[in-house]
Structure 1
Amino acid sequence: MTKFTAYAALEAKDKLQLWEYEPAPLQDNEIEIKVTHNGLCHTDIHMRDNDWGVTKFPLVAGHEVVGIATEVGKSVTNWQKGDRAGFGWIRNSCRVCYSCLQGEENICRKGFTGLIVGNYGGFADRLRAPADFAYKIPDSLDSASAAPLLCAGITVYTPLRTYIKYPGMKVGIVGIGGLGHLAVKFARAMGAEVTALSSSPDKETEAKNFGAHHFYQWGTSEAMKGLKGSLDLLITTSSAELDWDLAFSLLANNGVLCFLGIPVSSINVPLIPLIFGQKSVVGSVVGGRRFMQEMLDFAAINQIKPMVETMPLNQINEAMDKVFANKVRHRIVLVSQEA
């Protein structure tokens, strides 16, 4: 009998504890990996605490997973034992709707299957999942750097790739944290003129080291006056409630305000400038297969790596406490003992 060893929350808000489970038999279209690295995302904490009401317990979280293929299903032709593979938030989708056929499984018409929504994720010694949603990690990306790209990276890459149309576009990034610092790096590599916006003035040097051309403290109206009507794309990675009228006022004509973080309440959109400035308010959620491998290759070529702090997987609870207390700059990567 095959048993996987994992760190699981048995009930909502529980500390994670060692737990064993018997995996479902390896399907013909699946691969099994020996997990070496896990990016720790705040979503794992939301899932642990059942903040969204979709968690099934016991929960084995972990959806930024890198490992080495140890078993390959009979119908899988593009993976071999020993290959380095990564899995992100999406485990599967309907594969036949218009969105899926375009490689946009993140907006599957029937709803995609999450890696850790009703399934066991990467906080374990091994993981089994469909090979079609596994991704090749380029040789020039180390596993600790690659892991956060599988969720945080694709989350910011997708809207940047979608809305940056030409070099020199003026792009603003609100929030210079786990998502935002990667957004700055990707936007700079795509040729944008990047403005970093943060409520923390002490992040200016860091943001500019990541590639930002400009930095403004959010909400300092005098300093931000010159920004009004200038940004072609404004991406907010923060989940904090902000002055959305101010955010909207920063957009140029045809400008796009894109939400990645989820604020606690709805927003009011001013219709007159929306209509007469042909502005847009949009959202974006992770990304599909169309962009995932492209993002990893782009990161490898441009050496875009997240700022990470590594911790052993057996310190998962301490790591979650650090993330919850906002004491991490900017991502924790959990390393398995045998990695």
Structure 2
Amino acid sequence: MTETTNIRAYGTKAAEAPLNQMDIKRRKPTPHDVEIDILFCGVCHSDLHTARSEWGPSMYPCVPGHEIVGKVISVGEHVKKFKVGDVVGVGCMVDSCRACQYCEEDLEQFCESGMTGTYNAPDKHIPGAFTFGGYSESVVVHEHYVLRIPENMDLAAAAPLLCAGITTYSPLRHWQVGPGKKVGVVGIGGLGHMGIKIAKAMGAEVVAFTTSESKFAEAKRLGADEVVLSKDKAQMAAYSGKLHFILDAVSAQHDINAYLNLLRVDGSLALVGAPEHPLPVAAFSLIMGRKSFAGSMIGGIAETQEMLDFCGQHHIVADIEMIDIQKINEAYERLLNGDVKYRFVIDMASLKGQPML
């Protein structure tokens, strides 16, 4: 029987309930496990949707959080990659089968058996239980799914790289963005602001698209070479057939054909935002230029480490606003209103000072 211990966390017991402090059970480290004292945890839109059971039925109690940065406080006897004191990260998954074709290709996010999400997924180690995320004081993870954080990074601002960073890096790398490529980034939010920074560091010419003129200066500050007001038909028409690749980070309903029109022949648009309803695609938006409309999620563990190392080399982190865990419900409401530049990060010291329940 798996030994467990009680720790402090923040979560919710129902879709309509606010998040509050609770005690949860974590497994004690097994021979291949790394135990991590969580210092910072980013707040992702996925956290909000899962806590409120908006992406299919969630399991409760639900403790979100998959942008985790912390320090190793113990390791199992067979752990080779990490030692006590190492600064590490945990992203969107904490397990997979490790045997299927995709796991063997370092594409664990596409595991044929289904990856084990960092929260709200069946827990392989505790029968009948499910995983709890980073809104907690510590986490125990198999060493294969633990990532090394570069020494030069601000740790709080590095946390969102574990989701927002890899979600944008993976498609940019897959579609070979680099020098000589003209790349569009649609939406300047938690994902889009990372997309601009990373595409620019890869050497591309970056064009940012926004519905708000107030974000022009911000987009330039983030690294965009040009900024387009997407509501202005004349501005959009000026880029018709000009872009090699578009990273679409918008989760609201929008006209995808207007952006497909901006691709040159053999261009690709990859969707990383998750609109609630289908986006109608006109056949001729694709046929006339042999264009591709694709989607992308996170990357595998090796690619996520590659992303972290790349960001370390190019001094890239997220733009963040730090909050105490007690402000998480307020942060969720602000997130819904787009009132954050560009990612909330929880200082987990605010939880560790609280008494156990």
Q: Give the TM-score category using the shorter length.
A: over 0.9
Residue of 308, 318, 323 corresponding to 1:311: 323
Q: Deviations over 1:162-197 (max 9, x none)?
A: 112541201000000010011000000001110000
Q: Tell me which amino acid in the other structure corresponds to 2:148.
A: K
Q: Tell me which amino acid in the other structure corresponds to 1:322.
A: R
- What SS does the aligned partner of 1:184 have? helix
- What SS does the aligned partner of 1:329 have? coil
Tell me what 2:171 maps to.
Answer: 159
CA contact (8 A) 1:145 1:306 kept: yes
> What are the within-5 Å matches in structure 2 for residues 268-283 of structure 1?
268-283=280-295
- What SS does the aligned partner of 2:5 have? coil
Residue of 186, 189, 208 corresponding to 1:196: 208
- 2:183 equivalent to 1:171: yes
Report the Cα distance in structure 2 between the residues aligned to 1:221 and 1:306, rounded to whole angstroms: 31
Report the Cα distance in structure 1 between the residues aligned to 2:233 and 2:288, rounded to whole angstroms: 24
Higher mean alpha-carbon deviation, 29-38 vs 158-167, is at: 158-167
Residue of 262, 272, 276 corresponding to 1:260: 272
Tell me what 1:71 maps to.
Answer: 74
Tell me what 2:304 maps to.
Answer: 292
1:240 CA displacement: 1.3
Tell me what 1:108 maps to.
Answer: 111
- 2:165 equivalent to 1:182: no
Report the Cα distance in structure 1 between the residues aligned to 2:49 and 2:255, rounded to whole angstroms: 25
CA contact (8 A) 1:154 1:292 kept: yes
Q: Deviations over 1:271-317 (max 9, x none)?
A: 34523422111100111113101111111110111111111223222
Q: Deviations over 1:233-252 (max 9, x none)?
A: 01110111111221111110
- 2:61 equivalent to 1:61: no
Report the Cα distance in structure 2 between the residues aligned to 1:74 and 1:282, rounded to whole angstroms: 43
Report the Cα distance in structure 1 between the residues aligned to 2:16 and 2:49, rounded to whole angstroms: 9
Report the Cα distance in structure 1 between the residues aligned to 2:92 and 2:111, rounded to whole angstroms: 13
Higher mean alpha-carbon deviation, 9-18 vs 273-282, is at: 273-282
Q: Deviations over 1:1-36 (max 9, x none)?
A: 732111110111311111112322322221111111
Tell me what 1:30 maps to.
Answer: 33
Tell me what 1:93 maps to.
Answer: 96
Higher mean alpha-carbon deviation, 94-103 vs 131-140, is at: 94-103
Tell me what 2:47 maps to.
Answer: 44
> What are the within-5 Å matches in structure 2 for residues 242-261 of structure 1?
242-261=254-273
TM-score, normalised relative to structure 2? 0.91
CA contact (8 A) 1:102 1:290 kept: no
Tell me what 1:137 maps to.
Answer: 149
Change over 3 Å in CA distance of 1:227–1:75 after alignment to 2: same
Residue of 18, 21, 27 corresponding to 1:15: 18
Segments of 5+ residues of structure 1 without an aligned counterpart are: none
Segments of 5+ residues of structure 2 without an aligned counterpart are: 122-130, 353-357
1:322 CA displacement: 2.0
1:94 CA displacement: 1.4
TM-score, normalised relative to structure 1? 0.96
CA contact (8 A) 1:176 1:207 kept: yes
Tell me what 2:348 maps to.
Answer: 336
CA contact (8 A) 2:34 2:140 kept: yes
Change over 3 Å in CA distance of 1:273–1:19 after alignment to 2: closer
Higher mean alpha-carbon deviation, 109-118 vs 247-256, is at: 109-118
Q: Tell me which amino acid in the other structure corresponds to 2:161.
A: L
- What SS does the aligned partner of 1:146 have? helix
Between Structure 1 and Structure 2, how many residues are aligned?
Answer: 339
CA RMSD, 1 decimal: 1.5
Report the Cα distance in structure 2 between the residues aligned to 1:152 and 1:166, rounded to whole angstroms: 20
1:56 CA displacement: 1.0
